[in-house]
Structure 1
Amino acid sequence: MRLKFSQFLVAFLIIGSLMLGGCSAQEVSLNSSPGSTAVETTTTTAEATSVSETTSESNSGMTNSLPRLEGKATVVITVKGSPITVEVDGTNAPITAGNFIDLVQKGVYDNTVFHRVVRQPQPFVVQGGDPQSKDPKSSQQLWGTGGYIDPKTGTERRIPLEIKPKGEAEPLYSKTFESARVTVAPELQHKQGAVAMARSQQPDSASSQFYFALADLGFLDGNYAVFGQVTQGFDVVNKIQQGDRIDSAKVTQGAENLKVPQ
């Protein structure tokens, strides 16, 4: 169902909240503030290339060093004692799913805060996953600006935007569907209960922050990487308030499908 004009306007005004997820403090200063019209726009002047060509060029040397999920896995996220079961789809989003499962296994999400909850004027998202929010002494103004710092490199691990178009063998990397002139729907869509990565305006800026879709958000399809779906406990998601913490996140099935480069 297409959004009515008024619904689209509301979406246009609140989508900026996602654009701040997973970026550094420096990048935040370059973006619009939450609630503003920070919708990514792209002007394409080059001739459109096929998804397979774009994927081949973008994927070369970029994803080899990142964790990959080959198949599916199940994660149980516990919030205030109540479980949320998420099916993580590495078949259609291997890098995005692999990054999430790897961070779950590292305990990165335990005790982090859901720093952004948007339900008004209509259900939108519940967003969290910033490791900075673990520290109760950290400034709440910084929550939503951080990502996972890899202890091996001392830098923030970032993953490419990864969205698989229907009918394609491989995902499209580092480009939105609009900029790549992809006209088909993604395999993984923003249905109610979808789990996806937050990012800044730069396509390859996602790190650890993720969000739950509180409603069908088709206008985000092709712009943000969905990697999973809530299969049980959506009622728990619906009760999350801003400031609530993740008690724990555990991989309960499919851990053997995670492949981590040595």
Structure 2
Amino acid sequence: MAAIISCHQYSFVATSPLKKSVHHKLSSTATRTNFHFAPSPNNAPIQPLKPLCCSQTPPPFRSPPKQENWFFPSLKGCAISIALAVGLLTGVPALANTTSNPALPDVSVLISGPPIKDPGALLRYALPIDNKAIREVQKPLEDITDSLKLAGVKALDSVERNVRQASRALKQGRTVIVSGLAKSKVDHGIEMLNKLEAGMEELEQIIEDRNRDAVSPKQTELLNYVGGVEEDMVDGFPYEVPEEYQNMPLLKGRAAVDMKVKVKDNPSLDECIFRIVLDGYNAPVTAGNFVDLVERHFYDGMEIQRADGFVVQTGDPEGPADGFIDPSTEKTRTIPLEIMVNGEKAPFYGATLEELGLYKAQTRLPFNAFGTMAMARDEFEDNSASSQVFWLLKESELTPSNANILDGRYAVFGYITENQDYLADLKVGDVIESIQVVSGLDNLVNPSYKIAG
């Protein structure tokens, strides 16, 4: 895709009213970096944003300062500014106040390839395993998605090559795959491998019958088996959480929750249940905090507080507090910023990747999928997240994984894996009837909801 890149700077004024008689501050500042930022020469105001009925600035901020001007940062050359400029042109002005300054990657990162957008694939690749043999089976099965973008018979021919490659990799690498299974999970892992092998034979028959419509459902089934095998390779929790966080609720593994939302004023949708997979392998403190709040029924009956086409956000309780007040301490419970990077054995805590100087680092849980779930926090306080969460609605075609203005700045801890398309239909005032843990609750340690008071 050819693109004309503009290097102009932008400045905007927003006057979005909020409850509690305060205004959002849309701010992108140079407070915590060494880059110089200059204001736009025009200072042209944009149209007011939609009212945001929550006490946090969107999406990662919580506490709403008074209304001020904000200035979009000057970027390292036109190649990097394209993602931010296009974001503004496509209705993402609120993003400026979700970050202080975007981490500025090299151009090589920006053009490194298309991002993985499927939440299931992201979760599979995020598992803490190192078994090349199973990944060589997984990759061609994942690639079927791209093969199906081809027209007509070419698609099935490409899918056939994918399946043959995966089948060959499974036969050649089966011994290595089995040896990589955790001892306590070997029987289940072998069962998944047998189902995978049989399923690939069935997919080969589907291709021979030229039944294109049956390919995608079978692909999903096979990848679920692959994911099951990969999960059976994880033997316990792979690292120690830092001592200062060890007594917090921690999700040492994964859990799934169903979020049931009652939809108002939508003749085509009355309610919807969203399945969310929470990844405690890569964000144990963040995911553990959320599961603990779910078990306290903290979110039950709470309204959607922001839904503007960019994010859906909730978690601001009634009253003056902007987070969860722990009844045992009568203080707001906050959690640290928590970001896992590829190549690291444990997450970084308390700092953005930009602050750490890791501009090329790839986050294990990127903001790629529609429905990526992350924690909101105050603008200048990395460790200020509490209860407010948001789901990203935007997909960036121009910016690959970890080259946008959210990756490495806000703690992703899960993805919506079912009914995520309906997320865009939610509006401010729609009510979360309930969030229930459907699996993985036994992975939660130090659950504070069980403590009286």
TM-score (norm 1): 0.76
**AA matched with 2:394:** A
Aligned to 2:251: 69
TM-score by length of 2: 0.45
The alignment partner of 1:78 has SS state of strand
Greater RCO (CA < 8 Å, at least 6 residues apart): 1
Matched, 1:194 2:384: no
Aligned pairs for 1:144-155 within 5 A: 146-155=322-331
SS at match of 1:98: helix
Task: Give the Cα–Cα distance (whole angstroms) in 1 for the partners of residues 374 and 384 of structure 2.
Answer: 13
- How far apart in 2 are the matches of 1:172 and 1:198? 17
Confirm or deny: 8 A CA contact 1:42 1:179 kept in the other structure. no
- Compared with structure 1, are the counterparts of its residues 37 and 91 closer, same or farther at alpha carbon in structure 2 (3 Å cutoff)? closer
Task: State whether residues 65 and 261 of structure 1, in contact with CA within 8 Å, keep that contact through their aligned partners in structure 2.
Answer: no
What is the aligned partner in structure 2 of residue 170 from structure 1?
Answer: 346
Letter in 2 for 1:40: S
C-alpha deviation, 1:165, in angstroms? 0.6
Partner of 1:50: none
Q: Is residue 55 of structure 2 the alignment partner of residue 18 of structure 1? A: no
Q: 1:166 to 1:36 in 2, by over 3 A?
A: closer
Alpha-carbon spacing, 1:203–1:105, altered in 2? closer, same or farther (3 Å): same
Deviation, 1:18, is 2.0
Report the equivalent of 2:307: 117
Is 1:179 aligned with 2:355?
yes
CA distance in 1, matches of 2:257, 2:363: 23
Q: Deviations over 1:92-120 (max 9, x none)?
A: 1110010011111110010111111121x
Q: 1:32 to 1:109 in 2, by over 3 A?
A: farther
Cα deviation code 1:76-96 (max 9, x no counterpart): 000013100000000111100
| Residue in 2 that maps onto 1:224 | 410
> 2:393 & 2:443 partners in 1: Cα distance?
28
- Given that residues 60 and 410 in structure 2 are in contact (C-alpha distance below 8 angstroms), is that contact kept between their aligned partners in structure 1? no
CA change 1:159–1:130 in 2 (3 A) is same
Alpha-carbon spacing, 1:193–1:166, altered in 2? closer, same or farther (3 Å)? same
Contact 1:147 1:208 in 2 (8 A): yes
What aligned pairs does 1:70-89 form with structure 2 within 5 A after superposition? 70-80=252-262, 81-89=271-279
Give deviations 1:226-245, integer Å, cap 9, x for gaps.
Answer: 00000001133121001111
More helix by share: 2
Give distance in 1, aligned partners of 2:407 and 2:434.
Answer: 29
The Cα shift of 1:64 comes to 1.9
Deviations 1:132-189 (A, max 9, x none): 2xxxxx6xxx6xx611100000000000000001110000101000000112110001
Partner of 1:52: none
Instruction: Report the Cα distance in structure 1 between the residues aligned to 2:253 and 2:67, rounded to whole angstroms.
Output: 35
CA 1:261–1:19 in structure 2 vs 1: closer, same or farther (change >3 Å)?
closer
Q: How far apart are the structure 2 equivalents of 1:231 and 1:14?
A: 32
Q: Name the structure 1 match of 2:440.
A: 254
Identity %: 36
Against the structure 1 CA distance between its residues 226 and 236, is the aligned structure 2 distance closer, same or farther, given a 3 Å change threshold? same
**Structure 1: 5+ residue stretches without partners:** 44-58, 133-137
